[in-house]
Amino acid sequence: MIGGMEKRAGGALLIAGTTSDAGKSVVTAGICRWLRRQGVRVAPFKAQNMSNNSAVTPDGGEIGRAQAMQAAASGLAPDVRFNPVLLKPGSDRSSQIVLRGKPYGFLDAADFARLGPLAAGIVQDTLAELRGEFDAVICEGAGSPTEINLRHHDIVNMGLARAADMPVLVVGDIDKGGVFASLFGTVALLSAADQALVAGFVINKFRGDVGLLKPGLDRLAELTGRPTLGVLPWHLDLWLDAEDDVAYGRVLGRPQPPRGSEWLDIAVVRLPRMSNATDAEALACEPGVRVRMTIEPGELSRADVIVLPGSKSTVADLEWLRANGLDEAVRAHAEAGKPVLGLCGGYQMLGERVHDDVESGRGTVAGLGLLPVETVFHAEKILRTPVGRYGDIPVGGYEIHHGRDTVTGERFFTLPDGSGEGARAGSVAGTHWHGAFEHDAFRRAWLAEAAATAGRHGFVPAPDVVFAAVRERVLDVLGDLVEEHLDTAALLRLIEEGAPAGLPFLPPGAPEGASHPQGTIGR
């Protein structure tokens, strides 16, 4: 029994949002954590994700980083089934498509529309598989469910809900303003059949006295016939594992006072096609470390350490660096003997040459020439979770890249067979490994070396920060927020029984015939 009700295998709920970054990912994770505490076997699911922040599963597949976080909230290892369709944008018009964890190809919008029936079948089959294995599957939508220009190709929002006969909660971010209009409009522009599955609302990121919202909540319920199941407060610590870099401000996280007498200032270049920006999050958890995301050469010149993060389009972002004078700022920093670190695509940029006939098709392009590395892109993507050592310190990570590097100098990591990975030359270093900074001993050692190289001798790495524990605390906070601020009894009823019958229609709606053209999900 859960909350006085028997568990029913195969229950499901879709968390949609009025906008991107409304809080769908964290609400989904919070519900997963809360259900796990109740003894429910729960799994997350995002049918289709568009993000360059991804993770590698134990079997060598690739999924969105947010779904890996939601899996952790559920007490599960990452699984390709939790995000069967992943779109990784390489430009404004083209994305790499990953199906069930494996690269399918590079497609533009028209190509993906033709891929729709295949993707829809994969999504429906995968969700059915999970519902047969778990007591509950908490699904996350994408963007807004009322993108009426895209509804006929939808496999992640109302198209998924219709195909799976699944109730929907809509999350609105009150911090952006206009939350009541957004919630009402989200429902009112859906077709009657879609509206019949929208069972209620959640308001996110509220600051102040929730009693002040009551007149608005009551009126919204009168107008829509749907309740608001809770108001989640603004919480400063919910910044880890962001879905996309749009969630990041200029300063990452909440910088804590230093343990020593000096701060260490780290500037991360906010590349246009930045991927796995989450690599910098473990650094931002350290006391005395200020991590800034920037596109300004002047900020790079003032930093102690420069980090070039991963990129979904190495050559295009390298050209952007040069066009904006950031290449010279990075070079001057290195020539002054100050630390520069490249991660994955950023590592490739620091090398001598990049040969790319795969992502950009640009052929051979000169790198920044700061590392003795040459990178050749191959069609087959490398997806793996390697382990090695940094000096005497064990460390691991995960790799997601098309480039193969040839290094003529010193390596960054030592592999178990005695070979190496990455490269270093003086104060400049690089690696293809993501996630290495989540290993506490390596992170402290690297920070100590970087601070010494930068002349910040008063900086002292904290000996007691355990990144895995920090992440667990965030997931527990999410579970606490759900338990304390949402109507959990109503949540359970939706998961077990589906959307209630007789939910009213809000005009004007959308033409039903336009919602389900031949061959797409929900037909």
* Per-residue pLDDT tens over the stretch 405-429: 999 999 999 999 999 999 999 999 9
pLDDT surpasses 90 at 244 = no
pLDDT on residue 251: 80
Q: For residue 325, what is the enclosing H or E element?
A: none
Helical H runs in 1-157? Answer: 24-37, 65-73, 109-133
Question: Kindly report the CA angle at 17 between 12 and 19, in degrees rounded to 5?
Answer: 155
From the number of C-beta atoms within 10 Å of its C-beta (0-12, 13-18, 19+), residue 46 rates as buried
Assess if residue 522 is contained within a domain: no
Least confident range from 127-131, 160-164, 360-364, 446-450: namely 360-364
* Distance from the first to the final alpha carbon of the chain: 36
* pLDDT band with cut points at 50, 70 and 90 for residue 54: confident
Task: Give the range of the structural domain holding residue 19, as residue numbers without chain letter.
Answer: 12-239+472-504
Least confident range from 13-27, 89-103, 209-223, 405-419: namely 89-103
- Other CB atoms closer than 10 Å to residue 455's CB: what's the count? 12
Q: What is the pLDDT of the chain when averaged over all its residues? A: 90
> What does the pLDDT average to over 10-39?
94
Assess if residue 518 is contained within a domain: no
Q: Please check whether residues 450 and 484 belong to one and the same domain.
A: no
Assess if residue 449 is contained within a domain: yes
Q: Rounded to the nearest 5°, which phi and psi values hold at 438?
A: -75, -10
Q: Please check whether residues 290 and 210 belong to one and the same domain.
A: no
Q: Please check whether residues 403 and 487 belong to one and the same domain.
A: no
pLDDT surpasses 50 at 7 = no
> What does the pLDDT average to over 337-342?
98
pLDDT on residue 522: 31
pLDDT on residue 82: 97
Q: Please check whether residues 485 and 390 belong to one and the same domain.
A: no
Q: Please check whether residues 220 and 295 belong to one and the same domain.
A: no
3-state DSSP assignment of residue 242: coil
pLDDT on residue 3: 39
Percent of the chain with pLDDT over 90: 74
Maximum mean pLDDT: which of 109-113, 279-283, 437-441 = 437-441
pLDDT surpasses 90 at 78 = yes
pLDDT surpasses 90 at 513 = no
CA–CA gap between residue 516 and residue 265 (Å, rounded): 52
pLDDT on residue 318: 96
CA–CA gap between residue 482 and residue 32 (Å, rounded): 10
* pLDDT band with cut points at 50, 70 and 90 for residue 90: low
Q: Please check whether residues 336 and 303 belong to one and the same domain.
A: yes
Of the residues 333, 401, 434, 485, which is catalytic? Answer: 434
> What does the pLDDT average to over 262-275?
94
CATH number at residue 28: 3.40.50.300
CA distances from 422 to 120, 144, 431 (A): 39, 40, 4
* Residue-wise DSSP of 367-385: --SSSSEEEEEEEEEEEE-
Least confident range from 68-72, 470-474, 516-520: namely 516-520
CA–CA gap between residue 241 and residue 29 (Å, rounded): 11
CATH number at residue 361: 3.40.50.880
Q: Rounded to the nearest 5°, which phi and psi values hold at 314?
A: -55, -50
- Chain centroid to Cα 213, Å, comes to 31
Q: Please check whether residues 373 and 402 belong to one and the same domain.
A: yes
pLDDT surpasses 90 at 500 = yes
CA–CA gap between residue 8 and residue 497 (Å, rounded): 9
Q: Please check whether residues 144 and 279 belong to one and the same domain.
A: no
Q: Please check whether residues 197 and 311 belong to one and the same domain.
A: no
> What does the pLDDT average to over 248-276?
88
Assess if residue 466 is contained within a domain: no
Assess if residue 442 is contained within a domain: yes
What are the structure tokens assigned to 190, written together? 């859906």
- Strand partners for 251: 292
- Counting DSSP H helices and E strands in the chain, the numbers are 16, 28
What are the structure tokens assigned to 38, written together? 């109740």
* pLDDT band with cut points at 50, 70 and 90 for residue 477: very high
Assess if residue 153 is contained within a domain: yes
Indicate the pTM of the whole model: 0.88
pLDDT on residue 295: 92
CA distances from 494 to 45, 167, 169, 319, 503 (A): 17, 6, 9, 50, 13
pLDDT on residue 241: 60
pLDDT surpasses 50 at 4 = no
pLDDT on residue 10: 76
Buried b (16+ CB within 10 A) or exposed e, 423-448: bbbebbbbbbbbbbbbbbebbbbbbe
pLDDT on residue 310: 93
Of the residues 139, 152, 344, 402, which is catalytic? Answer: 344
pLDDT surpasses 60 at 75 = yes
Assess if residue 335 is contained within a domain: yes
HSE value, Cβ hemisphere, 13 Å, CA-based, for 33: 24
Q: Please check whether residues 338 and 286 belong to one and the same domain.
A: yes
CA–CA gap between residue 73 and residue 29 (Å, rounded): 6
Is 344 an annotated catalytic residue?
yes
What are the structure tokens assigned to 31, written together? 């519900």
pLDDT on residue 213: 93
What residue has token string 């590097």? Answer: 405
Least confident range from 98-107, 391-400, 486-495: namely 98-107
Assess if residue 268 is contained within a domain: yes
pLDDT on residue 116: 79
Nearest to 277 by CA among 297, 248, 318: 248
Nearest to 318 by CA among 359, 276, 277, 366: 366
CA–CA gap between residue 290 and residue 85 (Å, rounded): 35
Q: Please check whether residues 299 and 395 belong to one and the same domain.
A: yes
User: How would you list the strands of the sheet with 11-17, edge to edge?
Assistant: 42-45, 136-140, 11-17, 168-173, 198-206, 228-233
pLDDT on residue 303: 97
Is 285 an annotated catalytic residue?
no
What are the structure tokens assigned to 333, written together? 């920093």
pLDDT, tens digit, 9 for 90 and up, residues 445-472: 999 999 999 999 999 999 999 999 999 9
pLDDT, tens digit, 9 for 90 and up, residues 341-354: 999 999 999 999 99
What is the tally of structural domains in the chain? 2
Q: Please check whether residues 156 and 220 belong to one and the same domain.
A: yes
pLDDT, tens digit, 9 for 90 and up, residues 357-380: 988 888 999 999 999 999 999 988
pLDDT surpasses 80 at 246 = no
CA–CA gap between residue 183 and residue 185 (Å, rounded): 6
